[in-house]
Every structure is written in structure tokens, then in C-alpha cells.
Structure 1
Amino acid sequence: MGCALSKTQDEHATLSTTLGEVYVFFPGLRLPRKVDFGNSLVREHYSSALIGRLAALRSKVVAAAENACKIAKANNKASETSSIYELRSALENYLSALQGMTTTEALGEEGSLSNCLEFCWSNQEDEIKESVVPSVYYELLSVLHLLAMLSLLEANLTLTPKPSSEDQRLRPNDGRKAAVEMLLEAARILDYCIERVYPNVPEDLKTKFPADVQEELLKSLQLQALGQTLEIQLGLAIDNLKATLAVKRRIACEAVKYWQMAFEGLQRVRLQNNWGEKHVLFLKWKRASAKAAAYYYHGLVLEEGPDKSKAAASLQAAEAFLAESRTLCRDFSAASPVTKKSPVWGAMKSLSQKIPDAASRAGITTTKGVSQKHSKLPELPDFSLSLQWDVYELPAIDAIWSQERSIAPRPN
């Protein structure tokens, strides 16, 4: 999925209406459009060598991005991994040169590159299909956003089953630990955008940014990546005979927090197209699944104590949220653009059988929707969030900047 997002609404109609299975949702790949590095204002203040270097590196990004989308649309899985590697390499090389534009000297009023250049990118979740913003910070955020989306795309590909046998088609391949690393890499990059880039953006410029790179959406995507990390870790814990009920409950409860915060953040972003609506449905689906798991394990822990009524209520809530998650999964798959319904996998593959059995043992028959029971839901334990990740660091500034007489590289 994903690259169809870079097309206009009319072009969408000519593409296949059904995209592949979704294990990790991401709002497509934003594509860079051509930039005129050779305009007179730029040439007046910067050397032809620097201008040529920036233009060449960005052109490689444009070509690699277009190639990656072409391969994705052709559903050529064999070539998709190599195209992602090619695009990531081009982005990191360009990022090294792009950093020089963010130095204090480069951003000075006299001959500012940020004022000289207009950066254009396609949008995915904004109603405006393309945005042109004369800001190096917009360009930096767009490049980092694309790198983060590539990590989510790779995680989705890693979890997608390989069609070598019928048995493997029943669940994603066992690349779950690799997928966790990719999800955490996306979270690291998005965290850098929020903590290191956005504080430098002037307030008047923030209002010109499309929804795709607005701070709330970047934060929601980061929380989503962390929620999905815990979803996979819960599946690994279920497979681990040494993992206790308390450990599984904590993982599930923390996942609920991440999905809830991701949903609340997305609600604060103005999304007015099909992909934005589909994104919201994905978060609702995963939040319901996480709540089903959390209430199930909370109920099992309570069953070991004296309060059997609270245990029964928790298992009742788990069964209700499981039913809600199944409905939301169908709604998500059916929402435009239509995606194939993914098989039940990971933690929910096991819990979709265990939750009804546990509820039945407790003498529970769920006949009403969750919405009618919210006021009676038992409280889940309020665990502090414990996921940690390494800080993302930009690559070293391209050496060509040190050759510019008026601009010296900013120290790391």
C-alpha cells in the first residue's frame, strides 16, 4: 500500500481499488517535486559547486522515490526491498547536504537559502495534493517524514507472509523482532522531528505546513509506531512460556495508552480525505484490540485473587472489545481505498480463541455493545510507559559546506 497516495484524486480512480494486506499502517509516501536550485538569488550567494551538489543529490531522491512507487504499484515484491534501500540511501546522502542549510549562517537574512528556495512535496492526508513552502525546515521535516514512512513500510513488508506455502499464509512470517526494530526506528526519527526540528520553526511558517507534517500528526504516528511495537512484543510474550500474566498485562495496558494517545492526537489534525479517515479507523481498530488484550489479562490476574466479580467484569469487557475490534477491522478494510483483510495474527490470533473461552468459563454471555457498558468498566492498572529507544542523530554535514567561505558547518 502507500504509493497510490502520491497521485491526484482523479488518478486514484484509474488505479486498482484494492490494495494489499495491512499489518502496519502508514499514510503513504510523500514524493518530492523538482526544485529550482539555479535561480538568480541562490547563484548570487552560493558557489556553483554547492548548488550543483544540492541539485544532484535531490534529483537522486526524486528519481528513487518515483522508482519506488512504480515498483510498489506494480506489486513487485521481489524488487520492493531493493527500491526502499535505494531511496533510503539517496535520502540520507541528501540529508547530509541539507543540514548545511540549517546553520545559523545559512539561515541569515542576507541571501538566506530558506527564502531563496521553494520546496514542493506531494501530500497524502491533506486535502491539498501538493504544498510549496519556502522553508528549509519544511524540506527537512519532509525528508525525515519520508525516512520514517519507509521504516513503517519495511515493517509492514517484514510482517507480510511469504506465499511459499499454505501454512505460511495463515500468519505473518516470523520477522517480528526485525519489525520491532523498524518500528522503533520510525519512532526515533519522528521524535527527532518533534523535539529537534519543530522548536526551530517560526510560528507563522507552521500554519503553512500541510497536515502530513503537522506536529500533532507526527506525534500521532510516533505513538502509533510505539503501540504497534508493544502489540508485537505481546505476541512474543505469549509465545514465551516464561512470561507471566503480570508481564503480559503490563504490555497490553501500556499498548492501550499508546493507541489512545495516538487516536487523540490524530483527532486534533484536520483530515479531509479518504486516507485520513482510514487512518482514524486503523487506530480505533488497534485500540479496541489492545483493550481486549488488557482486560483479558487483567481478568486472569484478578481471578487469582478474592475479587471474582471484578475478574468476571474484566473478561466481559475483553469479549466485548474483541467483538468491537473485529467490526472495526472489517470497517477499516472496506473503507476507501479498499485493502485486503489481513488474517488474524500475533497476539490476537491466540486471544481471539482464549478470550471467548475465558468469558464462557466465568459464566458470561455478552449481549450488549461496549458503548452501553463503558460506565461499568473496571479500571485497568495505570502503568507508566516503559518503552525506550535510542536518540536519532542526523548524518554528518556534507564536507562541501566547509568549502563555502561564508558558511562553516555547525558542530554536532
Structure 2
Amino acid sequence: MPEDSEIEELKAKIVTLEDRNVHLMQDLQNAENEKRYSESELFRLQKDVARIRGELERLKSPPLVIGSLRDVLPDHKVVVKSSTGPDFVVSVSQYVDEKDLIPGSRVTLNKQSLAVMEVLPAPLDPVVTGAEIIDKPNITYDDIGGLSKQMLELREAVEDPLNRPELYKKVGIEPPKGVLLVGPPGTGKTLMAKAVANATKATFIRLVGSELVQKYIGEGARLVRELFELAKEKAPSIVFIDELDSVGAKRADVATSGDREVQRTLMQLLSELDGFTPTGDVKIIGATNRPDILDDALLRPGRFDRIIEVGLPDVEGRQQIFKIHLAHMNVSKKVDPKKLAEATEGVSGAEIKSICTEAGMLAIRADRDIVMPEDFDAAREKVLDTDRNKVKAPPTYLYG
């Protein structure tokens, strides 16, 4: 029989071996983790190397020549005009779809063989692409007051043909191609166009007429052409041209070179208006506060078929506008929209909004979070004194 000391010594060796085994298992686990990490890191580095090599190959590829496609021939041949020379009959790369070969489109050409390598998208001027409103306008019909009749006429001319074109086919009539909004500044012409765009879920493209007037010959006409190309591409869409009189003024017999360029732009606009189908997915809305200087060709039937006069609101209209703005404000119960409307004769919708904003600022100045009647009194006096040289309102206040 072994002695107790030997047994204890054997037990100690067993414990030591077990500890070493545990440490060895931990080392093995750590080694496996490091191996997996190294493999994943190697895979990532190999992907980076492949990407960098591909980028180097792409950068080393020879430059391509920009050309214009003139005609499409049989046997996968086309006629192109190079930017560096005359017309050529060349082959087309097998990677180019024949459906994309449209005469007039831009293409890239091999520098040596001039073979068509790729069809490029049509270029659009930044002025045109910047005119597209990416987000749908958040203005609704409920945000517009005092223009119920005008909104009805606009919805009949723009919204119904886009949302329910079958009604016009059943009745047998053609809807208006374009609508012209006429009225003083600040009466809600732009708001009406935005509300219709919201209701139709159409792409809203807004451009100021003066942006179509360019310095060089032909640039304005090109902008008009690209504007309507964008509208057709984004259809259903609404093209809203504000301040139409800046590009659509009457043509004079004696004109400078600048006036002649404006006339060229106008003629291109007239041509584009004639090209629209009556029940198409593109509607055009123009706005101006100077209808007396517009060219007669713009106003003839077939272009701007419906002319809607957007005048200053009457007392009921002003009351509706005040209610719309007061609904978003923290006002005293003593503030009466009807009395406000009666005391703002001849005021536009934009000026009513200015009065409400000014009243809120006066309340903040007085360290209050509630707008009081006297704030509207002071705001009305200030806006009517400074806005478009209005005649000062009577000194009697609204509330005593």
C-alpha cells in the first residue's frame, strides 16, 4: 500500500495536469479565434486589393470620344458624328441594347475604331433639374381661403384630367392644355398650384420665367425644351411657370438683340405648348400679375385655354384666411376673425399672413405666450403702413 505522502503527491500532480490542460484548452481556443480573425482579415484585404486593381485598370483604360448618333443602319451599324470630325459609319458594341440607339442621342466612341461603346443619358441643365420639387408640396385645399371659385376652376382644368381622364372621353370634350392664373401679388396663385400638385400626387416643377432668359443665342429655347422633356419623363407632372410676363411679353417690331433672344424663347414655349396632347399627363400652369403685356399668341385657345382671375379676397374670404392662420396660433378668445376681416379692406392673403406673424412677434416682445387683440391692432397698423404704400387705416382700434 502506498503511503499517504505519495497519495498526496499524486493528487497534486493530477491537479497540476488538469490546470495545464485547462490552460492548453484556453490557448487552443484563443489560437482558433485568432485564426478566424486572420482569415476574415485576409479575405477583406483580398477584396480591397481586387477593388484597387479594378480601379487601376479602369483609370488606365483609354479615353472615349463623345459623339452624336445620326442614323441607325442594318447589320448593327450606325452613323455617328464625332466631336472631332465628320460623320462616320461605325459598328456598335455587343453590350449596347439596340432599343437605346435613338437618332440624336449622345454616345461614347472608341478612340481608335470609333465604335459605339455606350449610350449616354440626355444632358439636363442645372436650372431645369433644380426646378423639380422632390418632396410633394404639403399645401392642401384646406390651407387656402377665399378662393373657392378659383380653386374649382383650377381643379376642373388640371386635377380632373390627371385623376379622371375617362370622364372627358365619355363626355367627348378636351380639357384645357394650360391654365393661366392672373392677379395681384400675394393673392395665392402659387399656393393654388401647390395644392393641385398635392391633390394629384404629381411631380411639381416650378420655374420663374426670368430663369428662362439667357445671355447667349438659343440657350433660353434649349432650357424650355429640356424643361418639358423633364416634365414628360416625370409624368404625371405639373409645370408651374411663375412671372410668365418676363418671358411672354408682347413681341415688338423694333427690338434689341436681348429682346430677340427673349422672343426666341417665347416661340419655343409656344411650340412646346402646342405639342401637348389634351389629356396628357403633363399640365402647365402659368402665373402673372401683368396680363396686359402678355403676347396674344399665349392667350389664344389651344395654349392657355382657361384664364383664372385671382383677385383680392372679399370680407368672407379674408375671414376664412384669418381662421386658417389663427388655428395654428395661441390667441386670446377675444380675437374675432370677423372683426379682423372687416378692418382689413383691400388686403391680400400674403398681407394677412404678415399681420398674424407680426402680431405673434409683438406678443413675444411683450413676454407673453398668448396673442391679444391689441397685438393685432398694432400689427395691422404696421403692415398697412409699410406694405405696398397702403393708405393708413383709420385710427380706431378693433376692440374699443
Give the TM-score, by structure 2 length. Answer: 0.22
Q: By percentage of residues, which structure has more strand?
A: 2
Greater RCO (CA < 8 Å, at least 6 residues apart): 1
TM-score by length of 1: 0.21
